[in-house]
């Protein structure tokens, strides 16, 4: 009996240690599997101002069939561009990072850890292409190999994606953040769910396709993670409130994922943790976000 008990204790201890080390292969919430190996690239695509119900209307079934997804992810309060993106890229809510206002030209740079700083400090390469200059606040000097403002409306969502795709193909960063502003602009001008707003939202599949196509040509789509999400929604011509139209956002992932609905709750600061975990890097202990899903090695 003692021998059996000792063996059971040894097995339990071994399984716990293996799980902590990330080698377990049992399913995790959402139907994805634990990672067999880190991915080569993570691309985070943020479509400013896209409501989940709007995105759900335009993603074709053929594209959705390739994704792990949820239409019930939640952003932060206030549901505004800079506070929400700060949470998305720092892994913590506004109560921790302290960004609660949404200036067009914030002073200085964020001081806490970001996905850019974690990747760079881990020996990787990070880059950002953004359509609003305020988001450069999140790219502290020295934390990214490239941080570029690609102004809207001179450049629409597809233009931004193509610029980022060229950089991805040549420089192959471990982490690439892409932000487009078209839906938010049209929402403020004409109203959320108006025909001009929905016309901007309908360009999401084409814009995402630019990145998926370049990764496919690189031979890296199956060992990359492409996260497609938003910072907030909107109602009327405004956003920022706790209304569902403002806070419910889409969250989809393509590439090295098990396709299908994500069954666990998702908040925007889970995005940062998901990106860092997928790259096989250590998530900062101060982050409150957790990985939404784990990547899987697809059969080639």
User: What is the pLDDT at residue 293?
Assistant: 77
Q: Which residues pair with 42 in a beta bridge?
A: 175, 225
Cα angle at 44 between 86 and 50, to 5 degrees? Answer: 75
Q: Of residues 294 and 43, which shows the higher confidence score?
A: 43
266, 87 Cβ separation under 8 angstroms: no
The pLDDT tens digits of the residues spanning 215-268 come to 999 999 999 999 999 999 999 999 999 999 999 999 999 999 999 999 999 999
pTM: 0.88
52, 72 Cβ separation under 8 angstroms: yes
Q: Which of 18-27, 77-86, 151-160 has the lowest mean pLDDT?
A: 18-27
Q: Which residues pair with 249 in a beta bridge?
A: 73
User: What is the pLDDT at residue 37?
Assistant: 78
Tokens representing 59? 């993603």
CA distance 30 to 267: 14
Inter-residue long-range contacts of 101-110, CB under 8 Å, 24+ positions, other chains counted: 102/78, 102/134, 102/240, 103/134, 104/132, 104/133, 104/134, 105/133, 105/134, 106/82, 106/134, 106/137, 108/137, 109/136, 109/137, 109/138, 109/139, 109/140, 109/141, 110/86, 110/137, 110/138, 110/140
Phi, psi of 72 (to 5 degrees): -125, 25
Q: Which of 29-33, 116-120, 151-155, 283-287 has the lowest mean pLDDT?
A: 29-33
Q: Which domains does the chain have, with CATH numbers?
A: 32-278 (3.40.720.10)
């Amino acid at each position: 009996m003692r021998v059996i008990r000792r063996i059971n204790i040894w097995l339990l201890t071994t399984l716990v240690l293996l799980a902590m080390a990330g080698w377990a292969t049992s399913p995790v919430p959402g139907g994805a599997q634990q990672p067999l190996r880190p991915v080569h690239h993570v691309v985070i695509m943020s479509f400013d101002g896209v409501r989940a119900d709007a995105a759900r209307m335009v993603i074709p079934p053929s594209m959705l069939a390739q994704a792990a997804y949820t239409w019930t992810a939640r952003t932060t309060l206030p549901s505004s561009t800079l506070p929400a993106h700060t949470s998305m890229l720092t892994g913590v809510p506004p109560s921790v990072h302290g960004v609660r206002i949404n200036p067009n030209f914030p002073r200085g740079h964020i001081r806490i850890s970001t996905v850019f700083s974690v990747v760079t400090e881990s020996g990787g390469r990070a880059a950002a292409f953004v359509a609003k200059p305020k988001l450069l606040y999140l790219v502290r000097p020295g934390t990214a190999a490239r941080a570029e403002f690609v102004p809207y409306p001179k450049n629409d969502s597809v233009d931004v994606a193509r610029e980022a795709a060229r950089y991805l193909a040549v420089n192959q960063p471990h982490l690439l953040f892409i932000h487009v502003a078209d839906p938010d602009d049209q929402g403020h001008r004409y109203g959320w769910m108006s025909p001009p707003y929905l016309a901007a939202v309908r360009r999401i599949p084409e814009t995402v396709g630019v990145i998926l196509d370049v990764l496919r040509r690189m031979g890296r789509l199956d060992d990359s993670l492409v996260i497609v999400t938003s910072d907030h929604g909107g109602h009327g011509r405004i956003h920022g409130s706790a209304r569902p139209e403002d806070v419910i956002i889409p969250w989809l992932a393509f590439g090295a994922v098990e396709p299908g609905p994500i069954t666990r709750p998702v908040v925007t600061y889970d995005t940062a943790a998901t990106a860092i975990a997928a790259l096989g890097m250590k998530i900062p202990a101060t982050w409150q976000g957790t990985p939404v899903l784990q990547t899987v090695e697809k059969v080639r």
